[in-house]
Amino acid sequence: MIGETPTPTVSALAHQFDDLTQQNEADDLGMWLFLSTELMFFGGLFLAYTVYRRQDEATFAAASQELDLFWGTLNTAILLTSSLTVALATHAAESRQRQQLIGLLTATIGLGSLFVSIKFMEYHQKYVHGLMPLGGLPFHWDGPSPAHAALFFDLYFLMTGVHALHMLIGLVILLVLLVKAIRGGLLGDHAAPVRVTGLYWHFVDVVWVFLFPMLYLIGAR
């Protein structure tokens, strides 16, 4: 109830903190803790993947070959580049370079959107090839154990889907930050949201760095 509503000359310091250092440390620790919950969230999926991969390595490897290595690799490059731009954006915000901040946020949003678009295109390819065992869609598998291959694609869609959902949430947050930056905010002492969102964005990247080899690379080629 104590006003935190932003006015043009609002202090960067919220009422419950004594100084900016304390506030910044609290913001960072809060985001790291949130990322630890995210880690456990994805952990459940990684566990399920590991359990079923161990049950039938051959089928998982064969199913893995159906994924498109070219688009997967390109997407990895795109996402890692977006991590770079968001890191630079944090630096720009903290060193009060408004134009750079706007440019780098835009670049991050662009690269992130590109990643999600390519991902959805890959989903569409799988659908066309009858490799989308969701909601009663037709699923064709000529190999020895179609049930296990279907499990692979279930997990593929779940893991990359949950990851893509995190990307979309990140994109919405980045858009909000972009609007704030255009209005002249987020500079200097006010840079914490950029820094904390950057942490989140890096985390989503790191998840992909594990998803990519697990789904596209191991045992496949």
Partner 1 sequence: MTILVAPESAATPSQPRTQQRNYLTDGYSVRSWLLTTDHKRIAILYLLSITFFFLLGGAAVIVVRLDLMTPQADLVQSETYNKLFTAHGVIMVFFFLIPSIPAVLGNFLVPLMVGARDLAFPRLNLLSWYVYMLGELFTLYALLAGGVDTGWTFYAPYSSTYSNTYVMATAVGIFITGFSSILTGLNFIVTIHKMRAPGLTWFRLPLFIWALYATSIIMVLGTPVLAITLLLVGMERLLGIGIFDPRLGGDPILFQHLFWFYSHPAVYIMILPSMGVVSEIIPCYCRKRPFGYAFIGFSSVAIAVFSFLVWGHHLFVSGQSIYAGMVFSMLSYLVAIPSAVKVFNWTASLHKGSISFDTPMLYALGFVGLFTMGGLTGLFVAALAVDVHVHDTYFIVAHFHYIMVGGAVMGYLGGIHFWWPKMTGRIYPEGWARLSAILIFVGFNLTFFPQYILGYLGMPRRYHVYPPEFQVLNVMSSAGASILGMGYFFPLTYLSWSLYFGKRASPNPWRATGLEWQTSSPPPTENFSETPVVLDEAYDYHRFDSLAATEGGGK
Q: Point out which residues bind partner 1 (CB under 8 A).
A: 1-2, 4, 14-18, 22, 25-26, 29-30, 33-34, 36-38, 40-45, 47-48, 51-52, 55, 133-136, 145, 147-148, 150-151, 154-155, 157-158, 162
Q: What is the DSSP letter of 168?
A: H
Rounded least distance, CB 111 to partner 1, Å: 27
Rounded least distance, CB 79 to partner 1, Å: 22
Q: Residue length, the chain?
A: 221
Exposed (0-12), middle (13-18) or buried (19+): which is 97, by Cβ within 10 Å? Answer: middle
Q: Of the two residues 47 and 179, which places its CB atom closer to partner 1 in the complex?
A: 47
3-state SS, residue 139: strand
Q: Of the two residues 59 and 90, which places its CB atom closer to partner 1 in the complex?
A: 59
Rounded least distance, CB 104 to partner 1, Å: 26
Q: Of the two residues 155 and 186, which places its CB atom closer to partner 1 in the complex?
A: 155
Sequence-distant (6+) residues with CB within 8 A of 159 are 42, 45, 46, 49, 211, 215
Q: Of the two residues 25 and 189, which places its CB atom closer to partner 1 in the complex?
A: 25
The string of DSSP letters for 18-38 reads SSHHHHHHHHHHHHHHHHHHH
Rounded least distance, CB 215 to partner 1, Å: 16
Q: Where are the beta strands (DSSP E) in the chain?
A: none
